[in-house]
Chain A
Amino acid sequence: MSGRRAGLGLAKGLAVTLRTMMKRSVTRQYPDVSPDLAPRSRGVIALFEENCTVCMLCARECPDWCIYIDSHKETLPAEGSARPRARNTLDRFAIDYALCMYCGICVEVCPFDALFWSPEFEYAAYDIAELTHERERLREWMWTVPPPPAHEPNADPPKELR
């Protein structure tokens, strides 16, 4: 009895593998064919430095402490004002991707929309030190960030426009 059942199971197993063999494999030929990733896929973090005010929130919230920010204060004379205006200027913005765990907290926490997820993912390096990427590289990745999804048709208009 159990022997007959076992035989049936064996035949079913053979049938499954044979059917799979007859189907076309759907494997992407990755290095030859680049994958079409979903717009919200998390590849690498890009920086839009014009929006950065060096508030340091990202660096402080980062659980891995992998964001390095250096800056200095510039003063601009402001007309009709008692004091000159002070402004933060970014000197260095780097992310060490050897430490980064891609939690995205920096992107979430940035109040000025300076950090974005880019679907770019091919940045392997031969040396762990090369994985610390400076602002120039982070800026290049900015251009690979897909446009944000459109508003829902029946949603309230954005607050800024009201």
Chain B
Amino acid sequence: MRDVVALVLVTVAFLTLPLVIGQAEHKVMAHMQGRLGPMYAGGFHGWAQLIADGVKFAQKEDTVPARADRRVFLLAPGVALVPYLVVLAVVPVGPGQVAVDLSLGLFFALAVMGIGVIGSIMAGWASANKYSLLGGMRVAAQLVSYELPMVLAAASFAMAAGTLSLSGIVEEWRWYWLFWQAGAAAVFFVAGLAELRRPPFDMPVADSEVIFGPYTEYGGLRFAFFLLAEYAGILVLCSLTTVLYLGGWKGPFLPDVVWTLIKIFALAFVVIWVRVSFPRMREDQLQRLAWVWLVPISLAQLALTGVVKVVLA
């Protein structure tokens, strides 16, 4: 019974929190650019904008290109979206408050998050369109480059905590991680952004070069799924960063869940902030950042974590 309630709660969070992040993106982005953002839908400051968008997407025609690999094409949005729901199930929001408490939680989360990227590669391949294919290949290249530093950075947290369980990592978290693990945190967050293809790492969907990359042929609800997957991905990345590096639910005065949400939304704000502030990176700059900066930093962090653990032991 408890499991069912927990899974329902996770599903509700999965369906609402990405919308909140999306709405925040509308407003924060607008104000950072000296605009107002959508103001009309639903009354107060256009709160219903994303719901209206959803209704609009649902009304649109669902087309599949004649030469497309039909089954893969139809499956791709689901493959992009569902993994993030699965990851949310293993993210703890309080002591013992997790839908599925896996002892290999971190390993599981990283493995499943990687599947989301496959959805975009599938979309790029199945669309039978050279721009989509080019976008899909860029997604693949990005996945190859950024998965490694992300996993290495996560390994550093796991080593510091001495466990792969996400709840266990939060239990072991101490305030001095903020300094000691800062390198790993930066690498994890940046690599996560790249994996979500968020600006400035949105090379695959560069609309001025490859139209919209892997999503060019998608319309209506399937396109909405890809958009939702992006926001769900932000939610998952921010909650994982919170759990690994910011001490999850730990904090004074307020209830556990509230602290988790505060930290998640603060990080989501950073994600939006970074998007507004920086221009898109070139393909070679993107690869250079991964291999020349992120991988060495995460390896150095791993070495530092190991040395400190041995010295303290």
Other A-B pairs, 16, CB within 8 Å; known A16-B277, A17-B32, A21-B28: A3-B293, A10-B277, A10-B278, A13-B277, A13-B278, A14-B273, A14-B277, A17-B33, A20-B31, A20-B32, A20-B33, A21-B31, A25-B30, A25-B31, A25-B34, A25-B35
Q: Which residues does chain A contribute within 8 Å of B276, judged by CB atoms?
A: 17
A26 to B31: give the CA distance in the assembly, Å: 10
A43 to B288: give the CA distance in the assembly, Å: 53
Flag whether B8 is at the interface (Cβ < 8 A).
no
Flag whether B39 is at the interface (Cβ < 8 A).
yes
- Is there contact, CB below 8 Å, between A20 and B277? no
Q: Which residues does chain B contribute within 8 Å of A23, judged by CB atoms?
A: 34
A25 to B27: give the CA distance in the assembly, Å: 11
B27 to chain A, nearest CB (A): 10
Interface string of B20-53 (1 = CB under 8 A from A): 0000000010111111100100000000000000
Flag whether A155 is at the interface (Cβ < 8 A).
no
A17 to B278: give the CA distance in the assembly, Å: 10
**Beta-carbon contacts under 8 Å, A5-40 to B:** 10, 13-14, 16-18, 20-21, 23, 25-27, 29
A144 to B40: give the CA distance in the assembly, Å: 30
B26 to chain A, nearest CB (A): 13
Binding site for B on A (CB under 8 A): 3, 10, 13-14, 16-18, 20-21, 23, 25-27, 29
A96 to B42: give the CA distance in the assembly, Å: 39
Q: Which residues does chain A contribute within 8 Å of B32, judged by CB atoms?
A: 17-18, 20-21
Q: Which residues does chain B contribute within 8 Å of A10, judged by CB atoms?
A: 277-278
Q: Which residues does chain B contribute within 8 Å of A26, judged by CB atoms?
A: 34
Interface string of B295-306 (1 = CB under 8 A from A): 000000000000
B34 to chain A, nearest CB (A): 5
In the assembled complex, 21 residue pairs joining A and B whose CB atoms fall closer than 8 Å, in A order, are: A3-B293, A13-B277, A14-B277, A17-B32, A17-B33, A17-B273, A17-B276, A17-B277, A18-B32, A18-B273, A20-B31, A21-B28, A21-B31, A21-B32, A25-B30, A25-B31, A25-B35, A26-B34, A27-B35, A29-B36, A29-B39
- Is there contact, CB below 8 Å, between A27 and B36? yes
Give the interface size class of chain B. Answer: 10 to 19
When C-beta atoms are compared, the residue in chain B nearest to A11 turns out to be B277
When C-beta atoms are compared, the residue in chain B nearest to A13 turns out to be B277
Q: Which residues does chain A contribute within 8 Å of B277, judged by CB atoms?
A: 10, 13-14, 16-17
Q: Which residues does chain A contribute within 8 Å of B273, judged by CB atoms?
A: 14, 17-18
A25 to B278: give the CA distance in the assembly, Å: 21
**Beta-carbon contacts under 8 Å, B144-163 to A:** none
B270 to chain A, nearest CB (A): 9
Q: Which residues does chain B contribute within 8 Å of A20, judged by CB atoms?
A: 31-34
Q: Which residues does chain B contribute within 8 Å of A18, judged by CB atoms?
A: 32, 273
B57 to chain A, nearest CB (A): 25
A21 to chain B, nearest CB (A): 5
When C-beta atoms are compared, the residue in chain B nearest to A32 turns out to be B39
Q: Which residues does chain A contribute within 8 Å of B274, judged by CB atoms?
A: 14
When C-beta atoms are compared, the residue in chain A nearest to B37 turns out to be A25
**Beta-carbon contacts under 8 Å, B91-147 to A:** none
A65 to B297: give the CA distance in the assembly, Å: 69
B182 to chain A, nearest CB (A): 14
A14 to B30: give the CA distance in the assembly, Å: 15
When C-beta atoms are compared, the residue in chain B nearest to A19 turns out to be B32
B269 to chain A, nearest CB (A): 10
A22 to chain B, nearest CB (A): 8
When C-beta atoms are compared, the residue in chain A nearest to B270 turns out to be A14
Interface string of B246-287 (1 = CB under 8 A from A): 000000000000000000000000000110111000000000
A-B residue pairs, 9 tightest by C-beta: A17-B32, A13-B277, A21-B31, A21-B32, A17-B277, A27-B36, A17-B276, A14-B277, A25-B36
A26 to B35: give the CA distance in the assembly, Å: 8
Q: Which residues does chain B contribute within 8 Å of A27, judged by CB atoms?
A: 34-36
When C-beta atoms are compared, the residue in chain A nearest to B31 turns out to be A21
A23 to B36: give the CA distance in the assembly, Å: 11
A29 to B278: give the CA distance in the assembly, Å: 28
A23 to B30: give the CA distance in the assembly, Å: 12
Output the residue of A14, A16, A17, A21 with the most chain B CB within 10 A: A17
A117 to chain B, nearest CB (A): 30
A16 to B293: give the CA distance in the assembly, Å: 25
